[in-house]
Structure 1
C-alpha cells in the first residue's frame, strides 16, 4: 500500500538501515545519499521515508512529503556547494524515463555543465 514500507524495496531498506548507503543528510521525513553510479561530480538521491512509486504518486498521496523532498534537494545542493553555479533536480518517472527503483527519488546533480534539452 502507498506510504507503507515495502519489503522488496531497496530504498525502503536504506531508510531502515538494512542496506547501507553513504548518507549525506537525514531529516524526520527524508534521507539523502550518494548515488552508487554517479552521473555528475555531485550526484545525491533524496528520498521520502514513506514509500510511493514515483513523484506523481507522492505529490498526490502526500504533498507535504513531496515538499520535504524538494526542500531537502535544495539543502543538499547548498551543502555540496553546487547551488552557486547551478544544479538539476531530476525525477525519473516510469521505465521509459529511466526509473529503475520504484520508490520516489530526486536526483540532485551538479558540479558540471548541463545541456538543454536533457537526455
Structure 2
C-alpha cells in the first residue's frame, strides 16, 4: 500500500500517531474523532491511501461495501440507539468545496442523543 509521508490518517492507521481505536482489520481502521460533534463520533478509513470519493473506482466496490456494512454495527457498539427511534449519520466530505480537510477518504459516523454541536 502506498502511503504519502505527510498524510495524518495514514500515520494514524499505521500506529505512528496515537488514536482511540474503535476497530481495525487488514483493510480498515476506525477511531474516535478528536473534536466530536455528538456523543458518538468516529471516523472510518481505508488503510490504503485513497485521497477522496473523487478517486474511487470499480476496484473499490468491495472495500466501500464493507465500510457501509460495518458502520451500523460499530455505531451501535459505540453507543448509538437502535433504529428507528435512534440512529446515526454517515458523512463524507469530498474536495475543498465539499468541506474535506484531510485528503484521505474517511467516513464520519455521528450519532447519539441530540442536540449535537454541529449537524
TM-score normalised by length of structure 1? 0.85
1:41 counterpart = 2:42:
no
Equivalent residues, number: 115
Aligned twin of 1:64: 62
Structure 2: any 5+ residue segments left out of the alignment?
Answer: none
Task: Give distance in 1, aligned partners of 2:54 and 2:72.
Answer: 19
Deviations 1:1-53 (A, max 9, x none): xx621111000001111111100111221111000111111100000011111
**Would you say the 8 A contact 1:55–1:66 is kept in 2?**
no
Per-residue deviation, 1:59: 4.6
**Would you say the 8 A contact 2:19–2:31 is kept in 1?**
yes
Task: Give distance in 2, aligned partners of 1:59 and 1:86.
Answer: 29
Per-residue deviation, 1:64: 1.5
Per-residue deviation, 1:94: 1.2
Aligned twin of 2:103: 102
TM-score normalised by length of structure 2? 0.85
RMSD: 2.1
Please state whether the residue corresponding to 1:20 is helix, strand or coil: coil
Per-residue deviation, 1:61: 4.4
Structure 1: any 5+ residue segments left out of the alignment?
Answer: none
**Would you say the 8 A contact 1:23–1:33 is kept in 2?**
yes
Per-residue deviation, 1:90: 0.3
